[in-house]
Amino acid sequence: MAGTAREIALSYSSPEVLQTEFKPLYEKLQLSVGRFGRYPDLAKSIRELNHCCAVAVYQKVKGGDLREWQEDIQQAFQEFIHQCDVVKEHLTDGSPNRRS
């Protein structure tokens, strides 16, 4: 889901397709923040990625410049992947969940 949101924000150009395809993903990512609330850093990375993608989609729909958001999306996506790996490591090694 996060990868698809990133792909839509970075690759699609049709305003109609952007709005139609991205809105359901945006809503699902918002819900997933709550689902992963026990992992605050993961939830934070989902929020950041969702925000960056939403701003980029908005800029594309309005015909604005999204160059600065392209890098932000890439960084947010890398942080999301990192946080997924951290959670996976905690779950597989039996470590208790840590809160930041």
d(CA 48, CA 32): 13
d(CA 82, CA 60): 28
Contacting residues for 80 by C-beta, under 8 A, at least 6 apart: 2, 42, 45, 46, 48, 49
Residue identified by tokens 């729909």 is: 61
d(CA 99, CA 39): 7
Counting as low any pLDDT under 50, the low residues of the chain are 100
What pLDDT is attached to residue 88? 93
Which pTM was predicted?
0.84
